Amino acid sequence: MLFLQLPLLAALLPGSVNAEDPVELQVRLGCELSSSESAKGFMQAALEGSDFLSFQNTTWVPSPEGGEQAQKVCDLLNLYEGIKQIVENLMSKTCPRFLLGILDAGKTYLQRQVRPEAWLSSSSILGSGRLMLVCHVSGFYPMSIWVMWMRGEQEQLDSKRDDVLPNADGTWYVRVILEVEAEDAVGLSCHVKHSSLGDQDLILNWGHSLSMNLIILAVVVPLILLIVLVLWFKRRWSYRGIP
């Protein structure tokens, strides 16, 4: 903004009581983008911390606080057609293009969808015979998420949700805690709803992995024993046939 500050200083210093005194000049130039993506530029200048003048409709306009001095400076600056054209281009063309470019570059990042990862943990509450079940959900984006402990289709209203916290990579983390009697933990599940999941909720059943392991053991172990027994009998009968 040196191209603007120099003419302003040139206009202000001759009228100062002492030309060697320092002058505090602040210049603010930018643009605002509305929801309709139409940009409105602004340019303002302040002298010694008070509004002094602004640029409106290709013309320098004094601020009421600036008084007669601001009017004189505006009259002088309005003679500089080149500076007026530069400011007009910055406000109406350069700034809006720059702002829209930043928004376009960040749109993909801001609108990204990252699926959450979830896992369960538990701990015993000493001396109470109760369990503290914790549903951890991490790595999701955007921030909005719904997590609830449920029994069938019934929400467990005693569930306590912590604040959603940021991860180092820009995604989010949350946990939901439910305290229950140890014998009542069977049949509970943690349900997660998030925009990245669409209509498919993420469901984690408490004790599901343990139940599956028991089922596998109940099926596989007898099968292995049966195979070993058949091989043993087959081998024994084969030896009996040898003279």
From CA 76, how far away is CA 14, in angstroms rounded? 12
**Residue 197 burial by Cβ neighbours in a 10 Å radius (0-12, 13-18, 19+):** middle
Residue 109: the pLDDT is: 82
Per-block mean pLDDT, blocks of 10 residues, the chain (243 long): 55 52 81 75 88 90 90 90 89 87 83 95 88 97 96 94 96 97 93 96 78 51 72 62 51
What confidence tens digit (pLDDT) does each residue in 184-193 have?
999 999 999 9
Pairs from 205-211 (Cβ < 8 Å, separation ≥ 24): 206/120, 206/133
Q: What is the CATH number of domain 2-110?
A: 3.30.500.10
Q: What is the CATH number of domain 117-210?
A: 2.60.40.10
From CA 110, how far away is CA 119, in angstroms rounded? 26
The angle at the Cα of 95, spanning 93 to 6, to the nearest 5 degrees, equals 95
Residue 235: the pLDDT is: 65
Residue 210: the pLDDT is: 43
With beta carbons less than 8 A apart as the criterion, state whether 12 and 26 touch. no
With beta carbons less than 8 A apart as the criterion, state whether 185 and 207 touch. yes
* Domains in the chain: boundaries: 2-110, 117-210
Residue 22: the pLDDT is: 74
Q: What is the pTM of this model?
A: 0.53
> How many Cβ atoms are within 10 Å of 167's Cβ, its own excluded?
12
The angle at the Cα of 185, spanning 179 to 191, to the nearest 5 degrees, equals 80
Helix (H) / strand (E) containing 76: helix 67-77
